[in-house]
């Protein structure tokens, strides 16, 4: 029996297994299973918009996953969410990256699975009160929904305070500086001073405070420095002295803040007439801010994988050469 041939063959099979296994992991999606996407129809402009993604596997030959293209009018609030069977058992997951959501599962016999994707309206694309056509696509399939964003119900004679993450998908995990955005809108025609304070987990970026004049609820125009009210600002509070406005004009204070402590939520308060206001911004993606990890030495992960495969193949060839030099004597 030629043992040297066996010695040469085994390392070659190991190397081929590594290469073919890697190729299998990187294989593109096949045709998706039966799937659907349902969008909440009662969400306001600044509400979370749940998107319920469901799929059903007809047999054991279904692909190991599929990718759904998300509509550009929506932005993801999480990077990954769990998929469950009707009995609540976890059977897979959905990973969200920018404008796509990829669903995968652990076994191909789980039948129907459901995952809820927390999304938000993209304020640069849509506005309150608009009718929006949302299209979800996977392969040659498309699911469309006509949704009307709930109009803002505001009383112009009352003040408003609200906040949000500047980058709603990443919160402050990618960029903490001025990650929180607070907005206070005065009652129309008011000249009442305003004092805005934030909790100890954040600091106001005083240099970034700006003002915008609003007429009939529209965005209006940003006030230049020569027209801006006087502001006394520190890290935790600011006070604004207002001049009388036109009867139909309100003023919006744009106040950026930087989280300095990891917390599940952040709050702001506005002390102004006719009554004090408070607003809270909750964290969706975790309780501790963390910068996005940078690739080691700036080398793409795909290069590192390729390098590892080359090293594995080189080691295999070395074993082959060794086996040729040192054949096992026949017995």
Report field, pTM of the whole predicted structure over 0.75 = no
CATH code for residues 160-282: 2.60.40.740
Of the two residues 274 and 84, the one the predictor is more confident about is 84
Closest Cα partner for 160 from 275, 258, 265? 275
Same topology, domains 42-148 and 160-282? Answer is yes
Tell whether the model's pLDDT for residue 242 goes beyond 70. Answer: yes
- Give the model's pLDDT for residue 286: 58
The most confident of 46-50, 122-126, 137-141, 307-311, by mean pLDDT = 137-141
Tell whether the model's pLDDT for residue 3 goes beyond 80. Answer: no
- Give the model's pLDDT for residue 321: 43
- Give the model's pLDDT for residue 115: 94
Spans of all domains in the chain = 1-22+298-331, 42-148, 160-282
Residue pair 3/327 in contact (Cβ under 8 Å)? The answer is yes
Question: How far is residue 101's CA from residue 299's CA, in Å, rounded to a whole number?
Answer: 26
Tell whether the model's pLDDT for residue 266 goes beyond 70. Answer: yes
Banded model confidence at residue 13, pLDDT cuts 50, 70, 90: very low
The domain made up of 42-148 is a member of CATH 2.60.40.1280: yes
Which residues does 247 contact at the CB level (< 8 Å), separation at least 6?
A: 188, 189
- Give the model's pLDDT for residue 283: 87
- Give the model's pLDDT for residue 110: 67
The string of pLDDT tens digits covering residues 70-87 is 999 998 888 899 999 888
Of the two residues 9 and 77, the one the predictor is more confident about is 77
Tell whether the model's pLDDT for residue 302 goes beyond 70. Answer: no
The string of pLDDT tens digits covering residues 51-70 is 999 998 765 455 678 999 99
Mean pLDDT of the 232-245 span: 87
Of the two residues 258 and 192, the one the predictor is more confident about is 258
- Give the model's pLDDT for residue 72: 93
């Amino acid at each position: 029996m030629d043992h040297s041939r066996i010695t040469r063959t085994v390392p070659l099979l190991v190397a081929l297994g590594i290469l073919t296994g890697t190729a299998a992991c990187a294989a593109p999606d096949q045709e998706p299973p039966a799937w659907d996407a349902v969008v909440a129809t009662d969400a306001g402009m600044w509400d979370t918009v749940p998107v319920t993604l469901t799929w059903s596997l007809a047999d054991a030959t279904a692909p190991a996953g599929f990718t759904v293209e998300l509509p550009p009018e929506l932005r993801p609030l999480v990077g990954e969410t769990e998929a469950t069977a009707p009995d609540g058992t976890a059977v897979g997951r959905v990973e969200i990256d920018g404008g796509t959501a990829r669903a995968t599962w652990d076994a191909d016999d789980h039948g129907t699975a459901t995952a809820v994707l927390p999304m938000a309206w993209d304020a640069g694309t849509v506005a309150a009160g608009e009718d929006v056509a949302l299209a979800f696509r996977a392969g040659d399939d498309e699911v469309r929904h006509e949704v009307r964003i709930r109009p803002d119900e505001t009383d112009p004679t009352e003040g408003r305070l609200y906040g949000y993450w500047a980058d709603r998908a990443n919160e402050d995990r990618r960029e903490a500086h001025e990650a929180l955005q607070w907005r206070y809108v005065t009652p129309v025609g008011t000249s009442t001073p305003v004092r805005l304070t934030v909790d100890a987990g954040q600091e106001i970026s005083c240099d970034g405070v700006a003002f915008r004049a609003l007429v009939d609820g529209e965005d209006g125009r940003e006030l230049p420095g020569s027209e801006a009210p006087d502001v006394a600002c520190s890290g935790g509070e600011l006070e604004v002295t207002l001049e009388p406005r036109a009867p139909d004009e309100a003023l919006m204070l744009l106040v950026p803040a930087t989280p300095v402590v990891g917390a599940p939520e952040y709050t702001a308060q506005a002390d102004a007439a006719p009554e004090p206001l408070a607003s809270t911004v909750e964290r969706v993606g975790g309780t501790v801010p963390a910068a996005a990890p940078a690739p080691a030495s700036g080398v793409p992960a795909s290069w590192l994988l390729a390098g590892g495969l080359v090293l594995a193949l080189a080691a295999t060839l070395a074993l082959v050469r060794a086996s040729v030099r040192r054949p096992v004597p026949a017995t």
